[in-house]
Structure 1
Amino acid sequence: MNKQKRIEILTRLRDDNPHPETELEYSSPFELLVAVTLSAQATDVGVNKATRKLFPVANTPQGILDLGLEGLRDYIKTIGLFNSKANNVYKMCQILVERHGSEVPENREALEALPGVGRKTANVVLNTAFGWPTIAVDTHIFRVSNRTKFAMGKDVVEVEKKLEKVVPKEFKVDVHHWLILHGRYVCTARKPKCGSCLIEDLCEFKDKVDS
């Protein structure tokens, strides 16, 4: 795919949704960090249902610690892998209190050192909470990037590096949200909705579906 076509795709996505946002509900960097950590192999809808009950009771690292590990588990038990996620979030809160003054660090290395936080989660927090031009590649972005031929790669790191290289600076802060939403609602895994896709004529997917 050439540069001109990529810019046209990004321009259309931007025109359609000028201020994209995550579908996870949060009101602080800490709430976002917890929500993203809980969202691994779970839906945003499911995470939001749990955090709507959790955050009014405990939405700071110390608040989670005061709740206790068992108390935290009770709030997130509807989310897949809740036991390991509760352990990670609890340990994360201990580190935030002890080493970071209860603040979420605006630093990749410090974020990735937290339990349950990998590169993707760190990228989401840096991008969404702090406005960094980082691109977190999840299953939706990986699929859309490869299927459209926008940024092909054999794994998420390769796709992330390709996106970093080919996405112009003016689009970098928002591209992650556009591609996720496009993959979630239009370029879906089982059957893409090509007929109602605003970039269908630019997409290089060979097996387009009329829908």
Structure 2
Amino acid sequence: MNKAKRLEILTRLRDNNPNPTTELEFSSPFELLIAVLLSAQATDVSVNKATVKLYPVANTPEAILALGVDGLKTYIKTIGLFNTKAENTIKTCKMLIELHNSVVPEDRAALEALPGVGRKTANVVLNTAFGWPTIAVDTHIDRVSNRTKLAPGKNVKDVEEKLLKVIPAEFKVDVHHWLILHGRYICVARKPKCGACIIEDLCEFKDKND
């Protein structure tokens, strides 16, 4: 894909959604961190249904730690992999208290050292909570980047590196949100809604639908 076409795609996505953000509900970097940790292999909707009950009761590392693993499970049992996520969340809260004065660190290495937090989760927190120009690549972003040929790659790490290389600075903070929403609602996995796509004429996907 050439530079001019890529720029037009990004411009249209920006014009359509000038102030994008995550669909996860949060009111602090800590709430965002826990929500993203819980969202692995789960939908944002399912996480929001759990955290809307959890956060009024416990929305600090100390408060969630006080719940304990079993107490936390009662709030997140509707989320996939809740047993492992409960254990990781409790361990993460303990580390935040002991190592970071209960504050979510604005540091990639420190974030990735937390149990259950990988590169993608760290990227989301750095981008959404702190405004870093990071790009967290999930299955939606990987699909959109490869289908459109915006930033094709063999795996999510390849796609992330390509996006960081080809996306102009003015778009980097928001492109993660534009692409994930586009993949979630328009460029869906089984049958993309090409007829409703604002970048359909620029997309280089060969198997478009009407």
**TM-score, normalising length from structure 1?**
0.99
Between the aligned partners of 2:66 and 2:145, the Cα distance in structure 1 is 43
| Over 4 Å off, 4+ runs | none
Q: Which residue of 2 aligns with 1:188?
A: 188
Q: Match of 1:198, as an amino acid?
A: I
Corresponding pairs, count = 210
Q: Secondary structure at the match of 1:97?
A: helix
Between the aligned partners of 2:184 and 2:66, the Cα distance in structure 1 is 36
Q: Which residue of 2 aligns with 1:208?
A: 208
Deviation of the 1:67 alpha carbon: 1.2
For structure 2, the 5+ residue unaligned runs are none
Between the aligned partners of 1:102 and 1:162, the Cα distance in structure 2 is 35
Deviation of the 1:96 alpha carbon: 0.2
Deviation of the 1:66 alpha carbon: 1.1
Deviation of the 1:4 alpha carbon: 0.5
Q: Match of 1:126, as an amino acid?
A: L
Q: Which residue of 2 aligns with 1:73?
A: 73
Identity %: 78
Q: Match of 2:208, as an amino acid?
A: K
1:164-175 equivalent positions in 2, closer than 5 A: 164-175=164-175
Between the aligned partners of 1:66 and 1:90, the Cα distance in structure 2 is 9
1:126-141 equivalent positions in 2, closer than 5 A: 126-141=126-141
Determine if the alignment matches structure 1 residue 118 to structure 2 residue 135. no
Determine if the alignment matches structure 1 residue 59 to structure 2 residue 62. no
Deviation of the 1:70 alpha carbon: 0.7
Between the aligned partners of 1:56 and 1:67, the Cα distance in structure 2 is 13
Q: Which residue of 2 aligns with 1:29?
A: 29
Q: Match of 2:133, as an amino acid?
A: P
Q: Match of 1:151, as an amino acid?
A: A
Between the aligned partners of 1:91 and 1:196, the Cα distance in structure 2 is 44
Q: Which residue of 1 aligns with 2:145?
A: 145
Q: Secondary structure at the match of 1:79?
A: coil
Between the aligned partners of 1:154 and 1:21, the Cα distance in structure 2 is 27
